[in-house]
Structure 1
Amino acid sequence: MGETPTTEPFLVFGAPDIGEAEIAEVEACLRSGWLGTGPRVARFEREFAAYKGVAPAQVVAVNSCTAALHVAMVAAGLEPGAEVITTPLTFCATVNAIIHAGLTPVLADVDPLTQNLDPAAVEAAITPRTRALLPVHFAGRPCDMDRLMAIAAKHGLVVIEDCAHAIETEYRGRKAGTFGDFGCFSFYVTKNVVTGEGGMILGRDEAHIARAKVLALHGMSKDAWHRFGDQGYKHYQVVEAGFKYNMMDLQAAIGIHQLARVEAAWRRRAALWARYLDAFADLPIGLPAAAEPDTRHAYHLFTIMVDEARSGLARDAFLEAMNAARIGTGVHYLAVPEHPYYQQRFGWRPAQWPNAMRLGRSTASLPLSPALDEGQVERVIGAVRRLLGGSGAGGRPLPGRG
């Protein structure tokens, strides 16, 4: 396929940019003797709330975005079996959380350009049993929240935003996660703010968030910091059958400093995004659409669409060749109905959502970490160009890294 074997180090897809501040904070946490949910989690919650421009009482840290989605749906009080409309172009966790909450997932196709939920498809998917809408801000691009919120208001739907890709995302001056009843965020190791594993729930209603906080730790009225802290033992009461979804201080120790650098990391990824667009402009592949006016893209995933008829190389063959070049790539995502579990349980077939099916079968995600240096960027660009019809690295040098 034009690639010769290389002995260069493997370039990990989505490798986090960990600095000395994170390392020092983790060491301090270990030496403190307090690793579980405690003062660092509380600090991380306060600072995340400040970044989003909401009150501290409107957020609660959890151990994953999946947990955040699950708890949000339970806290919303949706009746068992109620239908929740979401996108087929998402990670399985989005649909699994709906199932675990005792609800019924319903898929609506995506817009082929933005790759986000198509509001017209959402409207067509609504039935008398629909109770909630779960839009995913795919790759960091905001959904059309004006239209989606209008649909939700018209039909009286709860809105839970999946913001796993969208910490920095904005739509018409408002931050992603602040439109719906809940916004759910991820701090997984490949995300824009990293805690290793971790998530956050943001809620419009402080009473709903107070319930989410209880649900996320066994349904107890006190968390461990308040039970065992230096103010003396505090009795607790179990008020609901909750879950074990709390974040640890050990995770928050990383997140505190990741969040402090979130804007610098966003600018770095924006520069890398522009470099890729420039370097691949002449290749016979699909590239991400420009950000819509009055929005802010989080630049979480840079996905290219590899069509064998255009490029002469199948998507999976491209992934294999990149791996042979020791460059990590990803697939975001095979459409949810491609997976056997959902086909068997719901009778879904990929062709029912043709845009998501086509995108899922052609997409490949390239490394976009702010930790990439210039040499690594040139390796990625050079490999893509050699495989998909160009030659050389191409593009202008990337600022900010030598």
Structure 2
Amino acid sequence: MWFRPESEAPPTAGLPLGLADLRCSSAAPLTALAATWLGVEEVQLECSGTAALTVALTALAGAAPGRREVAIPAFTCPLVPLAIRRAGLVPRLVDLCAGHFDMDPQRLAAACGEQTLAVMPTHLGGRLADVASASVIAHGVGAVTIEDAAQALGARIDGGYAGTRGDIGFFSLAAGKGLSIFEGGLLVARDESLRALFRQTSKRIAAWNPGWELRRSLELAGYSLFYRPGGLGLAYGGPLRRALRRGDLLSAAGEHFSADFPLHRVGRWRQSVGARAFGRLPAFIEATTAQARSRVARLGQIPGVHVFADEGGTWPYLMLRLPDEAMRDAVLLRLWSSRHGVARMFIHALPDYAYLETMPGGEDVPQARDFAARTMTVTNSLWLDDDAFEHVCAVIEAVVVSH
């Protein structure tokens, strides 16, 4: 591990790709490898995690036309409500447990009823949500549970893998994720009738698009070259610092999303790249987990700083909650523009994105807004060495103590 002044640590610990991953020789199918690893009968590949969610919701909406609402946390990726609306459905926002990213069970129960099609517990940043409680509430009103495991491929929960504990689950293979084909998504379901419905729906709404696949293939080739300490300054760090100088926080966090996101099939070459890299994923998760355990303990020594942790999750980054927004912003002022992989998850609670329309439940989400105001992330990349990590800790400690 090393870190030079001209090097850049990524905001998330993604599995690097090697030149050998890009060769054109055959490999076992990515979907078969993923299904075996996750312990499920079948995995469906889509062009993004958002696309996987859209396919699932579109299929469910057609099968249950009387149900139009999907209950989601009021703090999550803005692409989630965009996907729900793309499927012709309505996102219903649920406030969080105090000081946490998971949905408040009482609020969730009150939000669900005859109109509820699905409930979406969300594993945020590799940390685990309470899928069991969400499922009890969903099934009690005749809805299904869709596990958002976009950021948690490889996490373990309730004796299995996150994403396989609900009725349906999906994962992201986007840039910077534990496994990436630059953009991709995996979709799983317990019931074969649902899997068949998802396959049919995907064929209908996600056709082959050579233009998009060429673009993603070129981006994947670039990712394999630049997702490393010497290249991230150009591909990530430079654009980040320019956005911060403009005060454009959405660009800094990569959150200028559109409802017109692509839906198309993934080509064979990108699938084979993911398949060849897949064999290194378990060891990578083990290494980042070992690093995270020691670093969580160090951050936990700072007064007033809460570090989210659990036994089974993965560790793309360390998620911190600071005592108040002023302290969080003071830390980010010193560290977000640095090369140390410090960042924010999502800039706002969902009701506060100007490009998202008004959503039911969004009028009363104080805990989601508080969570957005007080949290930040520190990368768990193996490229951030101990000296650089200690500098991050020292800055956080100095800010908290001075306030």
Q: TM-score, normalised by structure 1?
A: 0.77
| CA deviation after TM superposition for structure 1 residue 186, in Å | 0.4
1:329 alignment partner in structure 2: 342
Partner-residue secondary structure (3-state), 1:341: coil
| Residues 84 and 91 in structure 2, CA contact (< 8 A), matched pair in contact too | yes
Q: Name structure 2 gaps, 5 residues minimum.
A: 211-261
Question: Which amino acid counterpart does residue 249 of structure 1 have in structure 2?
Answer: R
Are 2:284 and 1:265 equivalent residues in the alignment? yes
| CA deviation after TM superposition for structure 1 residue 114, in Å | 4.2
Between the two structures, name the one with larger relative contact order (CA 8 Å, sep ≥ 6): 2
Q: CA offsets per residue over residues 290-332 of structure 1, 9 Å max, x none?
A: 42xxx611223311123348xxx53233223113433232222
| Residues 87 and 136 in structure 1, CA contact (< 8 A), matched pair in contact too | yes
For the residues of structure 1 that align with 2:372 and 2:263, how far apart are their CA atoms? 33
For the residues of structure 2 that align with 1:257 and 1:308, how far apart are their CA atoms? 44
Q: CA offsets per residue over residues 166-194 of structure 1, 9 Å max, x none?
A: 21222220222222231110011121222
| CA deviation after TM superposition for structure 1 residue 244, in Å | 3.6
- Relative to structure 1, the CA distance from residue 102 to residue 10 in structure 2 (aligned partners, 3 Å threshold; closer, same or farther) is same
2:109 alignment partner in structure 1: 123
Are 2:266 and 1:247 equivalent residues in the alignment? yes
| CA deviation after TM superposition for structure 1 residue 98, in Å | 0.8
| Residues 109 and 354 in structure 1, CA contact (< 8 A), matched pair in contact too | yes
For the residues of structure 2 that align with 1:125 and 1:268, how far apart are their CA atoms? 40
Q: Name structure 1 gaps, 5 residues minimum.
A: 1-5, 33-38, 225-242, 391-402
2:54 alignment partner in structure 1: 70
| CA deviation after TM superposition for structure 1 residue 103, in Å | 0.6
2:354 alignment partner in structure 1: 340
1:59 alignment partner in structure 2: 43
| CA deviation after TM superposition for structure 1 residue 119, in Å | 1.9
Q: CA offsets per residue over residues 37-85 of structure 1, 9 Å max, x none?
A: xx75x71000000011112xx2111111000100011122342771110
Matches within 5 A, 1:228-247: 244-247=263-266
| CA deviation after TM superposition for structure 1 residue 219, in Å | 5.4
1:25 to 14, 21, 24: 21
1:10 to 8, 11, 19: 8
2:247 alignment partner in structure 1: none
Matches within 5 A, 1:286-365: 286-291=305-310, 296-308=312-324, 313-333=326-346, 334-342=348-356, 344-346=357-359, 352-365=364-377
| CA deviation after TM superposition for structure 1 residue 87, in Å | 0.5
Question: Which amino acid counterpart does residue 358 of structure 1 have in structure 2?
Answer: D
Q: Larger radius of gyration, structure 1 or 2?
A: 1
Q: CA offsets per residue over residues 214-246 of structure 1, 9 Å max, x none?
A: 43344599999xxxxxxxxxxxxxxxxxx8432
- Relative to structure 1, the CA distance from residue 150 to residue 264 in structure 2 (aligned partners, 3 Å threshold; closer, same or farther) is same
Matches within 5 A, 1:268-283: 268-283=287-302
Matches within 5 A, 1:170-181: 170-181=156-167
| Residues 9 and 341 in structure 2, CA contact (< 8 A), matched pair in contact too | yes
Question: Which amino acid counterpart does residue 59 of structure 1 have in structure 2?
Answer: V
2:186 alignment partner in structure 1: 200
Partner-residue secondary structure (3-state), 1:314: helix
- Relative to structure 1, the CA distance from residue 222 to residue 213 in structure 2 (aligned partners, 3 Å threshold; closer, same or farther) is farther
2:396 to 362, 372, 384: 384
Q: TM-score, normalised by structure 2?
A: 0.76
- Relative to structure 1, the CA distance from residue 324 to residue 141 in structure 2 (aligned partners, 3 Å threshold; closer, same or farther) is closer
For the residues of structure 1 that align with 2:360 and 2:198, how far apart are their CA atoms? 32
Q: How large is the Cα RMSD of the aligned pairs? A: 2.9
Question: Which amino acid counterpart does residue 47 of structure 1 have in structure 2?
Answer: L
Q: CA offsets per residue over residues 313-360 of structure 1, 9 Å max, x none?
A: 532332231134332322222211121233x5337656x111111010
Are 2:101 and 1:87 equivalent residues in the alignment? no
Moved more, 92-101 or 362-371: 362-371
1:154 to 137, 140, 144: 140
| CA deviation after TM superposition for structure 1 residue 16, in Å | 3.0
For the residues of structure 1 that align with 2:181 and 2:11, how far apart are their CA atoms? 17
For the residues of structure 2 that align with 1:324 and 1:101, how far apart are their CA atoms? 37
| CA deviation after TM superposition for structure 1 residue 376, in Å | 4.1
| Residues 349 and 368 in structure 2, CA contact (< 8 A), matched pair in contact too | yes
For the residues of structure 2 that align with 1:86 and 1:308, how far apart are their CA atoms? 25
1:97 alignment partner in structure 2: 83
